[in-house]
Amino acid sequence: MDLSITIAGVKFPSCFMNASGALCMTREELLALGRSRSGAIVTKSMTVEPRSGNPEPRYYGFPGGSINSMGLPNLGYRAYAELIPELKQFGKPVIASIAGLCEDDFLTMARVINQARPDLIEVNLSCPNIPGKPQIAYDPVDSERLLKRVRPLITVPMGVKLPPYFDPAHHAVMAEVIAHCQVDYLNLINSVGNGLVIDPTRETPVIKPKGGFGGLGGALIKPVALANVRAFWKLLGGRIPIIGTGGVVQGLDAYEHVLCGASAVQVGTVLVEEGVGVFERLERELAAELKTRGLRSLEESRGKLKEL
């Protein structure tokens, strides 16, 4: 079964790839993704300066999902710019994710990362775990201004990673912003922010930063991710490719994302829990789902969710 896809003119050998933040911070982790069955190498969302991130414990997996408050630990954009040529030798797309702590940071990074020639650049407007830093994507005016400033600096396809929205009015407003800013693809969604998981035996949160508050991922956020993929697919008329992120644990989950309109999917929690071998399993399971339905490609089912 051919699970290759094309986004913004870039061919991906598989529709599965890592979500930024999951086993993609160090050179060794990125090289492991290159050697794996992942359809792309997505870098950790990078900042201008290297960051050690929030204090540990900052990630916790539990039945049904995970919670994290990583705080953007990363090597800094200069290190990733130097790594990009090496990563491209694997023959699969490299997606560089940039996440500024202020608006001008995005411009600084975009110039240098664009010169390193990744296959795509993803503007992450949805980092939920930096104390004192709001998510840009929850302000449509700020988001549009930033995207219009950064777009001229990027000559490769540019994507935008968004947080979950929970109201149709917010979907509509942000769809207008995206339509105005020459965005080549969307990544939906980042983790569902400000969850709290506690250990009742110890009577404490399970992670340390922010009093235990963190971003939720894994199976429990799939309905929110699917809703966002579907909303933006319909609002944008299927014109902008979408990478569905959130709740993909089995091949069937990926198929549901495709039904809602996704061209590809990213995995985070299940990658952290299982390691890079997960891509082979997911490919096998999705291929079986398509075969069972008599489908020959993902394109035959993309956006074909039947409404009651």
Please, are residues 71 and 129 in contact by the beta-carbon 8 Å criterion?
A: yes
Q: Does residue 172 belong to any structural domain of this protein?
A: yes
Q: Is 258 helix (H, G, I), strand (E, B) or coil?
A: helix
Give domain status of residue 307, yes or no: no
In a domain, 306, yes or no: no
User: Does 208 belong to an annotated binding site?
Assistant: no
- Give average pLDDT by consecutive 10-residue segment, the chain, 308 residues: 96 98 98 98 98 97 97 97 98 98 96 98 84 84 96 98 98 98 98 96 98 97 98 98 98 98 98 98 98 95 98
- Give the CATH number of the domain where residue 110 resides: 3.20.20.70
- Check the annotation: does 222 bind a ligand: no
Q: What is the pLDDT of residue 128?
A: 60
Residue 100: inside a domain: yes
Q: Is 210 annotated as a binding residue?
A: no
Is 218 flagged in the annotation as binding?
yes
Domain that holds residue 25: 5-300
In angstroms and rounded to an integer, the radius of gyration of the C-alpha atoms of the chain is 18
Half-sphere exposure of 195 (CA within 13 A, CB side): 20
- Residue 95 within a domain: yes
> Considering 15, 127, 181, 260, which one is annotated as catalytic?
127
The total number of residues written for the chain in this structure: 308
Find out whether the peptide bond into 205 is cis, omega within 30 degrees of 0: no
Report how far residue 37's alpha carbon sits from residue 85's, in angstroms, rounded to the nearest whole number.
19
In a domain, 305, yes or no: no
Do 225 and 265 meet the contact criterion of CB atoms below 8 Å apart?
no
How far apart are the C-alpha atoms of 44 and 41, rounded to whole Å?
A: 10
Residue 175 is assigned to a structural domain of this protein = yes
Number of structural domains found in the chain: 1
Task: Reply yes or no on whether 127 is catalytic.
Answer: yes
Residue 110 lies in a domain: yes
Closest CA to 192 of 167, 170, 225: 225
Whether the model clears a pTM of 0.85, i.e. scores above it, the answer is yes
45 marked among binding-site residues: yes
Is 92 annotated as ligand-binding? no
Please answer whether residues 57 and 206 qualify as being in contact, where contact means their C-beta atoms are separated by less than 8 angstroms. yes
Q: Are 233 and 303 in contact (CB under 8 A)?
A: yes
Are the C-beta atoms of residues 77 and 97 closer than 8 Å to each other? Answer: no
Has 268 been labeled as part of a binding site? yes
